[in-house]
Every structure is written in C-alpha cells, then in structure tokens.
A and B are shown apart, each in its own frame.
Chain A
C-alpha cells in the first residue's frame, strides 16, 4: 500500500503553547485508522492542519501519489484535492433539506458560474438518494435538516463527506452523544466507507474504537505516544498512565 498522507515534523504553537509538537504520522491508501488521546491532545488541531484551517509553524504535509505539499493551500483547494472533514460538533446546513445538503456536497464543479447554471441530472438525483439510503435518512430525504435528531445530523454530515467522494476522510468524534444502536450503525458506515478510501476517526469511546478493528494511534501533548493494534497500545504503560488510567 502506498502512502496517501504523510505528516512529518509538524509543530504548531498558540501563543507559545505547543498544541502539536513535532508530530509525524502516515496514512496509507484505503486505510482505516483510529486516533485516540486525552482532551487537549491535539487531535482536532491535527485535522485543522491537514485541512488548511491552521497553518503549521514547522514541518511538511505531503498528499497523494504526487506528494503535493498541502501547506499554504486554501481550505477549498484541499477539499477539492480529496480530503473531506467531519467536525466535532455536527455541522449541517440546518435550514436546508437533507437532499439540498447532499446535493451541495456532491462532487461537481465548484466554480460559481458552474454552480449557478447547475441542473441536477437523473443520475445526480439517484446518487443523492442512494447516499441518503446508505446513511439511513431515506425517509427524511425532504425534511429540513434542523429537524433531525442529533444522531441523524451526524450521519447526514458523514453522508455529505461521502458525497464529496474524498480519498481521505477525517472524522472527529462521530459517535459523541449517540445511543448504542446509533453507534453501531455509525461503525458500519465508517467501516464500509474505508473499503474504498482512507478514513481517520478520532474517538474517545474505547468500545467504539474496538469495533472499528483497526490500527490505533495515541496522541498525547501534540505528539504520537504509541501506535499499533488496540490491544498493543492499551498494554503500553505510557498510554495507561496518561489516558486509560485516569
């Protein structure tokens, strides 16, 4: 498997506080990866850096076969390059319907004029409907997304990510605030998505991570503390000290 995303030696400080400290990290094509770590470990900041929201002070971020540097690219350009992101808080466009949300995310020309004259084709409608089905929102297709339950909003946001057809999906705490049944379904969606693309999931819930059944990276104070299978990292004494033993 070739490397899709390579983060090397990245450091970010906020007013002198090092949120990310010489972080190095690799994701392969079509890999499912869980990232865990205590509050403030820098998990969200890591996603901010990869998606162009925060600019690192030092280090390199290389993307794809051609090893393009993502540093300095705008958020929109990075998203177009194939990186999708789900926020920690579910963020969907509450005043718009599930259909409109998905249609906006659908992988199409994003230039203003193309969007202005865009007319969804039969295939586009079919595509969006299929996505809604995949995330279990077929029945809520024409509902305003603000009316959806918390869990449904989370799924809708995942659906929007899938609609973008990214090569890499960064998912920040998808299961937060979900019922056990909802969690199970979320796991299934993510595992399914990872069959054709790389997915990085940040999560606190160990049960959830166990079900993902994938390689785990533990972050602590902005750097990698341990990496490997879940069983491997949970036996690591450092990990027990800073994270599990609390």
Chain B
C-alpha cells in the first residue's frame, strides 16, 4: 500500500497514454496541422467532448464516490463558460470598435470606445450601458479567476445551506435542479446583464489572433485534452487515498462516518465545491469551441443528461464516466445532428432527431436494471474473468 500512487493505479497511466495517443492522432489527421482527414468542425466536436468528459469526472466524484446525486452541475459549467465568454466578447468587440473609430481624424476618446462597445454588445437587449458584472470584463486574468471562483462560491454557499440542514437523497437532487433552473431563468432575463436569451456569441474568435479556425480549434482541443488529463490525475489521486476511503464511506453509510469523528458536512461541502470548480473550468474550455453560450445551456435537463452519461459509463470508476460521456454524447450528436438515416416503417418513419431521446431513455433504463455498474462495470467483469482464468 505504500507504493507510489501511479503504481497502485495502473489505470491512470493507461488512461493518460490513450488520451495522449488520441490527441496526437487527431492532430495528425486534422486540417490545421495534419493531412486534413478530420474537419475543423469535427475537431471542435471532439474538443467539446473532452470538456464534457472533464465535467463527467467531477460528476463521478460527487455522485459515484461521495454518493451525492447533484443534478445541477451544469449550472457551474455554464457559469464557467459565461465568465470566460465575457472577456472574449468584450475584448474582441473593443478591437473592432477601436478599429472602426480610428478612421476619424482625432483618436477616439475612452468614452466613445466604451459607448461603442456597449452598443455593440448590449444593443440586442436595447441598452448600451455596461452592467455592474461586466466591470472586470476587460481583464483576462480576473475573468479566468472568476471561471473558478464564481462556480466555487455559488457551490460553497448553496452546499453550506443544504448540507448543514442535512438535506440528502432525492431532496438534495431536487434542490440542485431548482438551483440550475433558477440560474437559467435568471439568465434568460435581459436585466441579468448577460444578454438574456441571446447569450454570448462569437466566442470562437480569439481577440488579437489572426490564425485560422482550423488552427485555433486545435489549440482548444489540446488545452481540453491537457486539462482533462490533469483533472483525471487530480481526482484519481483524491479518491485513491484515505480521503477517498472517507467519501466512499459517506456514500455507503454516512452515520457511521460521523460516529468515527469525521465531519461529514465539511467533506460533502469540500467535494461539492471542488467539483463545481472543475465544472467551471470545463465550461470555460467548452464554450469557445461551441462559439456561443445561452441560458438554455444551464437548463435542468443538461445536468440530468450528465447523470445519465455517468450512469451508463459506470459510476464510481473514473474511466467509466469518461467512456460513458464520450460514447453517449458523440452518438447523441450523430443522431440529433440529422446524420443518422431515418428508418421508414411504411406506416411511420422513425426520425432519429425525435426518437433518439426515447432510445437514450430506454438504454438508461436497461443499464439501471441489468448493468448497474454501467460500461465500466463490464470492463471490471472482464478483468476479473481474466484473473480467474489466469489463476
């Protein structure tokens, strides 16, 4: 047991190796740096998938390991996206405004620039004034800090209230749904200061960068792969030691852990907040690849999908969460993207755009009934089988 963390967890090394190979492969096949077999838009899809895998790891930590079924983690994901999105949109708009104003004889005054940016960004919601929350939008460093801080603080406050009153189980899940619903409704309002239902757009364009999207998309893809690798390493380390023992104990028998002298509420709050921060980072990487973020992204259903991915992949195993998320979200975008061929039945044509959700729901029910440990559980089963035949 005293061997190094990696030696005790060979699956971590395997995962990192596969991730590295995958990244290299995509790069070589890409338009930006390789032979152009993979289109730029598909590189973005893959990069976004890596971000979803990252939030899935966070979900596995809070649900699979700690036993708290949060159905609100996409709120943190969305907030992370908004925080970075604010800087991207502000800075790019500023450059455009400065450029267009510099045609004049006199250099533009700061007021002119500010009004110009305000008009550009908030014109759609009938305003040109900067809301208070945009105060630091000109600072990349601060907005990057907010990517972690805003979800973290929201989780800290929400979690403190919920865990202190010992809200558990279904009630906690419902509360987290209410949280993400509340956030989404708030963001839908024009008065929220984040452009209401328009959301933030043009996020794929990096201010001051002239490189084509085929190249920028790869930068984000690499960043997503790197952060996913680091996140995996961090969470795998957390769950491998005594802390992992304690949170699994909380999942299996909260009261027993309490009588051992551990402050269960503090542990839950710590994990909830940490996973919110990870989700925020994942969101900040995701939305520049999506190009746009709007309040529909943090709708309650998004967080439920997340739980479904992790359940299908197998909770309580990090690679399970990654496999489930990568698999289901890719298949889902194939079905809903209109690429899947419709199935004509004569009297009725099955259109996958409509029927995919039914299929997904069915898979979820089947997994819950017949493979409660998901795809990851099947891998475990194979491993055990091989061990038995070896012995």
Q: How far is B258's CA from A164's CA once the two chains are assembled, in angstroms? A: 13
Interface segment among B96-104, B195-203, B246-254, B325-333: the answer is: B246-254
Q: A115-B246, A116-B241, A120-B2 are in contact. Are A95 and B263 (CB under 8 A)?
A: no
Judge if B261 is at the interface, Cβ distance under 8 Å.
Answer: yes
A60-104, CB under 8 A of B: which get 1 and which 0? Answer: 000000000000001110011000110100011111100110011
Interface string of A21-45 (1 = CB under 8 A from B): 0000000000000000000000000
Given A93-B253, A94-B252, A112-B270, the answer on whether A103 and B261 have CB atoms closer than 8 Å is no
CA gap between A18 and B52 in the complex, in Å: 54
Q: Give the residues in chain A near B249, CB-CB below 8 Å.
A: 93, 96, 104
Asked if A85 contacts B259 (CB within 8 A), the reply is yes
In the docked arrangement, what's the CA distance between A53 and B166, Å?
13
A96 to chain B, nearest CB (A): 6
How many Å from the CB of A88 to the closest CB on chain B? 12
Alpha-carbon separation in the docked complex, A103 to B248 (Å): 14
B334 at the interface (CB under 8 A from A): no
- Does any Cβ of B come within 8 Å of A160's Cβ? yes
A112 B243 Cβ-Cβ under 8 A? yes
B219 interface contact, C-beta 8 A: no
Asked whether, in the complex, the Cβ of B245 is within 8 Å of the Cβ of A104, the reply is yes
- Is residue B260 within 8 Å, beta carbon to beta carbon, of the partner chain? yes
Q: Assuming the A-B contacts A76-B258, A76-B263, are A125 and B243 also in contact, with contact meaning beta carbons closer than 8 angstroms in the complex?
A: no
Least CB separation from B271: chain A residue: A112
User: Contact residue range for chain B?
Assistant: 20 to 34
Q: Is A150 positioned at the interface, with any CB of B under 8 Å from its CB?
A: no
Encoded as 1 (CB less than 8 Å from any B CB) or 0, chain A from 150 to 170 comes to 000000000010001000000
Known: A75-B258, A79-B258, A104-B242. A110 touches B263 (CB 8 A): yes
Whether a CB of chain A sits under 8 angstroms from the CB of B33 is no
Alpha-carbon gap, A120 to B245, bound state (A): 13
CA distance A92 to B255 in the complex (A): 11
Q: Does B266 contact A (CB under 8 A)?
A: yes
Q: Is the CB of A91 within 8 A of B262?
A: no
Residues of B within 8 A of A118 (CB): 241-243
For the complex, is A51 an interface residue (Cβ under 8 Å from B)?
Answer: yes
Residue of A nearest to B270 (CB): A112
Q: Could you say which of B252, B261, B264 has the most chain A C-beta atoms within 10 Å of its C-beta?
A: B261
Specify which chain A residues have a CB less than 8 angstroms from the CB of B262 in the assembled complex.
76, 110, 115
B256 at the binding interface (Cβ < 8 Å) = yes
Distance in Å: Cβ of B362 to nearest Cβ of chain A = 29
Are A76 and B261 in contact, CB atoms less than 8 angstroms apart? yes
Residues facing A in B207-255 (CB within 8 A) are 238, 241-243, 245-246, 248-249, 252-253, 255
B256 near A96 with CB under 8 A, answer no
- CA of A94 to CA of B256, assembled, Å: 12
Shortest C-beta distance, A85 to chain B (Å), equals: 5
B1 is an interface residue with CB less than 8 A from chain A: yes
10 A-B pairs besides A79-B259, A104-B242 with CB distance below 8 A are: A51-B259, A53-B255, A79-B261, A87-B256, A93-B252, A96-B245, A116-B241, A118-B241, A118-B243, A160-B260
Residue contacts A-B, CB under 8 angstroms, 22 given: A74-B258, A76-B261, A79-B258, A87-B256, A93-B245, A93-B249, A93-B252, A96-B245, A100-B245, A104-B260, A105-B260, A110-B261, A112-B243, A112-B267, A112-B270, A115-B242, A115-B243, A115-B246, A116-B242, A116-B243, A119-B241, A120-B242
Q: Which residue numbers of B lie inside 8 Å of A, CB to CB?
A: 1-2, 238, 241-243, 245-246, 248-249, 252-253, 255-256, 258-264, 266-267, 270
What 5 A-B pairs come out closest when comparing CB atoms? A79-B261, A75-B258, A80-B261, A76-B263, A116-B243
